[in-house]
Structure 1
């Protein structure tokens, strides 16, 4: 399996040993923004609320369900959200994901044909201003990373500056096989509903 896909690359989730990849995680790590005080000293921290969400579609590209901070599990229990982090790391990078969405493909409703992941900055804070904001899409569990197959460095990626939403990637089913499209593109949207609409129109 290709590791650390570049934008726009696609892979099959069939592994080299012939087994199919069953459990994937999308993990987001970020920090609170350092506020500048008077003369640049001691401004404290500004909390940052990034929201990872997952939209599920059928083969007609109809939206079935969205798993997000207000709906932490899909109806079939195959997609789970770790919960809403409202602040980011306040004491510097602890190396852990602040929010994780997990997918168990073996439990996914057979009607689901596309599993799309998006990220929104809830308070409208610019991606380019958020310390060490990054995304990992990997095989494994929140506690065990088996293999990373896409990574996005939001904090240092010039394309993300000036944006508050993005499409991370889409898993899609072709002839019964799951494949992954690494998208990693910012959108002009402000809210989750708008970002999901953009996915529906442009990325399925």
Structure 2
């Protein structure tokens, strides 16, 4: 299986031993913004609220469900959100994901054919102003990373500068087999609803 895909790459989730991948996670780790004091004296931290969300669509691109900070579990119980982190790492990078969405592909409602992951900056903080912000999409659980499919460093990648939302990637089913498209595409959207509409219009 390919590891650490570049933007736009697609892979099959069928493993080399013939087993099908079942548990995948999307984890986001980010930091608060450091503000310098007047005339360079002292500093303070400004909380950053990034929101990872997941939109589920059927074969005809109809929206079935959205998992986000206000709805932490999909109707079929296959997708779970760890909960809303409102601040980011205030004391520097602790190396841990602030928000994680877990997916059990085997439990998904059979009608679900596309599982899209998006990220929004709730208070409108430009991705380029955040000291560190990374995304990893991987096989495993929040406590055990088996294999990373894709990684994005949105704080230091110039393509994300000036944006407050993005489409991270989409799991999709084709001929009964799950595949993954590593998108990593910033969007012009400001709110989650707009980003979900962008996915439906441009990426399915």
Q: Normalising by structure 2, what TM-score?
A: 0.99
1:191 and 1:174 mapped to 2: Cα distance? 29
User: Which residue matches 1:12?
Assistant: 12
Q: Tell me how far 1:42 sits from its aligned partner.
A: 1.7
1:90 and 1:116 mapped to 2: Cα distance? 29
User: Which residue matches 1:109?
Assistant: 109
- Structure 2 counterparts to residues 6-45 of structure 1, below 5 A: 6-45=6-45
User: Which residue matches 1:190?
Assistant: 190
Q: Does 1:93 align with 2:93?
A: yes
Q: Does 1:127 align with 2:106?
A: no
Q: Tell me how far 1:40 sits from its aligned partner.
A: 2.2
CA RMSD of aligned residues (A): 0.5
The unaligned stretches of length 5 or more in structure 1 are none
- Structure 2 counterparts to residues 50-199 of structure 1, below 5 A: 50-199=50-199
The unaligned stretches of length 5 or more in structure 2 are none
Q: Deviations over 1:153-199 (max 9, x none)?
A: 00100000000000000000000000000000100000000000000
